[in-house]
Structure 1
Amino acid sequence: MLNAISVLALAALVNGQLYGGGPEKQFSQKIDDGYNLLKHFGHLGPHTDRQSYGISRDTPAQCEVDQVIMVHRHGERYPDASDTYPQLVEALEKLYNYSDQFTSGSLEFLNTWESFLNDEAMLEQETYSGPYNGLKTAFDRGVDYRARYGHLWDGEGVPIFTSGSQRVLDTARRFGEGFFGYNYSSKAYMNIIPETEDQGANSLTPPCFVPSNVPFSIFFAPPVLASFFDAADRLNREYPGLNLTATDVKTLMNLAPYELNTRPYTPWADVFTRDEWIAYRYTFDLAFYYFAGPGSNTSAAVGSVYSNATLALLNQGPEKAGKLHFSFAHDTNITPILYALGLLVPERPLPKDYIDWTSPYKISDIMPMGGHLVLERLACNATAKYPKGSYARAVLNEAVVPFNECQNGPGFSCPLSNYTELVGGRAQALDYVSTCDVPTDYPQHLLFFWNYNKTTDFNYQKDPIGYQANLITWDGKPFKKSK
């Protein structure tokens, strides 16, 4: 007679034969992108590709990319010197001065943890150590894009445009080394565009002379504050007398993404709960939405400088305007471009009193470290479904992002004629010069895509790390200070 255990074992065996076992599943049922903590580090942590809509990143079968235009954020970096670094030092000192020892619990690791912030000379610069470091991110992107777009390079010199920040320039250089390989020293023309107001529209960092309409209090949204207060209370109960504040918590949370920019592991990730990290991410969603995105009164106009110039490149085509266009800037220069293009604009303003779970505006998906936007011009043959012609599509962090108003081309691309109406109409309506009150003696249009310097003088570092990049303009003229 079978005992109870044998009956259960036999049932499990039968069920396994009937309903399980056999060949492995073709597709995993575990979709866990949302659980990856990198997706909750906002714009501060290591690069992550964007979660796609399922549209193939590869070029549609009947098409070929005949022109590519990229704008790329600098890679993973150290904290800024003027704001974040002093706050981090102050918060850490509060922990180091704690009267009792962290003998156990959430902060026990502090007994052996060594800070990654020991070299102040590296503040604000690209990181160079650890698997997520910024210089590696940029080089790898160059290597990947050589494999993807190498057919567009004819062996002639190619300009690379970079804003005048050292970390942005270093990212551009490393990308160039990855893309051109041994030919980088002679075939890449590094053009440095100063980050100065008198560049006007002829800039990768266009200034706006109209003040923001957003109050600073946007950072203190209730769902965010509640989580930071909860974290402070939890740690203060664990370590009586520590007396952390909600502000201290927000600052200490910054250590996790910044440490990962330099190291393979950060213990700070485990100090805070998943709910607290989600609230942390939302602080950055709010900040970018209201200060450099759809919630800003000037953001779309600023972004139209680039969207309008690249529209001209796409319409001139590869033979007249060139096939490869690589540019490098900052996160707050690229998010306005997305808004000007009409990409990832929420149907309603991002709420301040609760977290909007359905909004497409999640900055860790939009502009993490090393974030990049690519505009591809596709030359497509005729099929039963699509006519022969030129199409445009946008790729953000390696995921195709269709235009809501125009996705009737191969791979959900947009016919170039329709793209021209869509983007050109927006740019004309936005009118950067009048919206941002640009002085009449400043450049009114972006010109350097057609008027660049064919020199290799700036391809390599010649001076100590610093903001020496602003010493010369793209056309070789002496640097002129802003008025």
Structure 2
Amino acid sequence: MSSTSLLAAGLALISSVSALRSYPQFGEKQFSQSFLDGYNLLKFTSSLGPYSNRVSYGIDRNTPAGCEVDQVFLLMRHGERYPDYSGFGQNYEAVLAKMAASNVTSWKGDLTFLNDWTYYVEDPGMYSQESYSGAYAGLADAYARGTDYRLRYGHLWDKKSIVPIFAAGYSRVVETARYFGQGFLGYNYSTNAAVNIISESSTGGANSLTPTCAADSNYLPCLLGSFSKTMPELEVAAARFNAQNPGLNLTAIDVTHLMQMAAFELNVRSYTPWAEAFTLDEWVSYGYIWDLMYYNCVGPGSEYQIAVGQVYTNATRVLMQQGPKSGSMFWSFVHDTNITPVVAALGLDVPDKPLPNDTIHFPYQYRASDIVPMGGHLTIERMTCNATAKSVEGVYVRAVINEAVVPFNTCQGGPGFSCPLANYSAIVDAAPRFNERCNTSSTYPQYLDFFWNYNTTTQYNYLAGPIGYQQTYTDA
């Protein structure tokens, strides 16, 4: 063999060895065999704990090849926050006072940490407000979502037009909208954003992000009844704490309040010792109590609430039919109980049969933590797509819940398991009509029109003055 041939062979060998070294070494796994999301506590703090991405079906979140998103609709819950005083904070203060008044002088067992722990609401004025510090801070969550969506949907903005942002008229919701806008628009926020604050009054009728169903007489009783529900595992937790600390007399209801309090603590402090005071089985049971509440009271278990969701789905469907000429980006901000009706109206996350009240439904078919954690959001994409081997050229719709693509059960033949717009429209039409089912007063608006008739002023882009003491509803 000539010297030239030897040199060529040597270079080829070196090249092949280098190529091999670019791959994992022998024995290393290309894919992990452990999937531990099922043990992540954030999946059991329901709607009260920090945001977590939805457990996905493995469908690519990125826009399918040959498609382009030309309209996007975001319906997002406010970010991580402090508890409200009414219904939450007052219960936490009451159970903590009950524990302090017991004969326990030094905490033992699972509650040993209480010898040093202090309640995280340091000032009662913080009740109801968005959290601003810690790894799970709500304002940071909103800002980060804005920056992420600028990267994902920035092509929809021409860098000069006004971008409307719609927020239900509640202090923390408006602040979430503002921080999202700052994240999305960056230096242009002060001049190119137009925050529109939509009143939460029931007199808004259908022209609202938070419609009220007058005919749903079970709405409040359902919610209030859910807060007094327990599971056997929570009785076990109460008995364990009482046995470890003689003189303590906690009940299962007390335990639910403590678990709620723990979820909120993560929103503020990034760490809660209460998380480890309860077993995983107890957290699973606690999470299911909330699943039942959302399913029965503001989800697919209530035909009235499905009608409530139809307000948003119908308005955005009309915008999709009109196409980008009517606007390309619609950023809306609301509460958790305004998102679950919309998801139900789209036929998503609807169990095969009603959830049982006496046992936990395994496998999960309706999970509040996958739909409305703090910062939870539904994103609907209108896509214009080229023809593929499985679909024709046309306009398609995809639903994304907490950054996981969620296909429609009856329509998924398009790119990325999307649905043709015409078929999507049929899904929207299948939901009961809001005005008819909810007996909307004829003196109230009968349809949503602020997506077409919005203000373009920067007047509400920033808070005018300090937030009022325990302020909730706001007009500025």
Both proteins in one fold, TM over 0.5:
yes
What does residue 350 of structure 2 align with? Answer: 345
Amino acid across the alignment from 2:311: V
2:385 aligned residue:
380
Q: Map residues 355-366 of structure 1 onto 2, 5 A cutoff.
A: 355-366=360-371
Q: Is the 8 A contact 2:128 2:472 kept in 1?
A: no
Distance 1:470 1:195 in 2: 10
Q: Which residue of 1 aligns with 2:314?
A: 308
Kindly indicate whether residue 44 of structure 2 is the aligned counterpart of residue 40 of structure 1.
Answer: yes
Contact 2:178 2:461 in 1 (8 A): yes
Equivalent-residue separation in structure 1 for 2:405 and 2:195 (angstroms): 28
Question: CA shift at 1:261, angstroms?
Answer: 0.1
Matched, 1:124 2:128: yes
2:145 matched to 1:141? yes
Superimposed CA distance per residue, residues 319-368 of structure 1 (whole angstroms, 9 cap, x where no aligned partner): x2111110000000010001111111011001001100123200001110
**Cα distance in structure 2, aligned partners of 1:199 and 1:398:** 31
Q: Counterparts of 2:380 and 2:459 in 1: how far apart (Å)?
A: 28
- 1:174-211 CA-to-partner distances (Å, cap 9, x unmatched) read 00000000100010000000110110000000011113
Corresponding position of 2:15:
none
Out of 256, 259, 262, the position equivalent to 1:253 is 259
Aligned AA for 1:433?
N
CA contact (8 A) 1:74 1:171 kept: yes
The 1:220/1:145 distance shift into structure 2, 3 A limit, reads closer
Residues 124-177 of structure 1: CA deviation (Å, up to 9, x unaligned): 110011100100100000000001001111121110000000000000000000
- Which 5+ residue runs of structure 2 have no aligned equivalent? 1-24
Contact 2:390-2:413 within 8 A present in 1 as well:
no
Superposed displacement of residue 104, structure 1: 3.5
Q: Is the 8 A contact 1:303 1:338 kept in 2?
A: yes
Once residues 406 and 179 of structure 2 are traced to their aligned partners in structure 1, the CA distance between those partners, rounded to angstroms, is 26
Instruction: Tell me the CA shift for residue 103 of structure 1.
Output: 4.7
Structure 1 CA distance for aligned equivalents of residues 188 and 265 of structure 2: 34
Aligned to 1:451: 453
Tell me if the contact between 2:51 and 2:375 (Cα under 8 Å) persists in the aligned partners. yes
For residues 461 and 381 of structure 1, the distance between their equivalents in structure 2, rounded to whole angstroms, comes to 45
2:233·2:285 contact (CA, 8 Å) conserved in 1?
yes
Letter in 2 for 1:208: C
Structure-to-structure mapping, 1:9-20, within 5 angstroms: none
Q: What is the number of residues matched between the two proteins? A: 447
Using the TM superposition, give the Cα deviation of residue 295 of structure 1 relative to its aligned residue in structure 2, in angstroms. 1.1
Asked whether the 8 Å contact 2:167–2:197 carries over to 1, the reply is yes
Q: Give, in whole Å, the separation in 1 of the partners of 2:426 and 2:26.
A: 54
Is 1:202 aligned to residue 207 of structure 2? yes
Counterpart residue number, 2:226: 219
Structure 1 residue aligned with 2:282: 276
Decide whether the 8 Å contact of 1:314 with 1:377 is kept in 2. Answer: yes
Offset at residue 115 of structure 1 (A): 1.6
| Matching residue within 71, 76, 79 for 2:75 | 71
Distance, in Å, in 1 between the alignment partners of 2:314 and 2:394 is 21
> Is the partner of 2:301 in helix, strand or coil?
coil
Structure-2 separation of matches of 1:288 and 1:307: 19
- Residue 66 of structure 2 corresponds to 62
* 1:406 pairs with 2:408: no
| Aligned mate of 2:295, from 278, 289, 294 | 289
CA deviation map 1:407-433 (0-9, x unaligned) = 00000000112112221x224xx1111
CA–CA separation in structure 2 for the residues paired with 1:75 and 1:345 = 25
Decide whether the 8 Å contact of 1:55 with 1:411 is kept in 2: yes
Give the conservation status (yes or no) of the 8 Å contact 1:73–1:168. yes
Q: 1:213 touches 1:297 (CA, 8 Å); kept in 2?
A: no
The residue type equivalent to 1:65 in the other structure is V
Q: What RMSD in Å do the two structures reach over aligned CA positions?
A: 1.6
Shift of 1:232: 0.8
1:8 alignment counterpart: none
Contact 2:107 2:114 in 1 (8 A): no
What is the DSSP-based 3-state SS (H/G/I as helix, E as strand, rest coil) of the residue aligned with 2:74?
A: strand
Give the aligned residue type for 2:174: L
Q: 1:358 to 1:221 in 2, by over 3 A?
A: farther
Relative distance call for 1:250 and 1:221 in structure 2 (3 A) is: closer
Give the counterpart letter for 1:36 in structure 2: N
**Distance in 1 of aligned mates of 2:417 and 2:81:** 35
Secondary structure of the structure 2 residue equivalent to 1:162: strand
Whether 1:101 and 2:110 are equivalent positions in the alignment is no
Give the secondary-structure state (helix, strand or coil) at the position aligned to 1:451: coil
Segments of 5+ residues of structure 1 without an aligned counterpart are 1-20, 473-483
* Equivalent-residue separation in structure 2 for 1:380 and 1:338 (angstroms): 24
The normalised TM-score by structure 2 is 0.91
Report the residue type matching 1:183 in the other structure. Answer: N
Structure 1 residues 220 and 150: alpha-carbon distance in aligned structure 2, compared to 1, 3 A threshold: closer
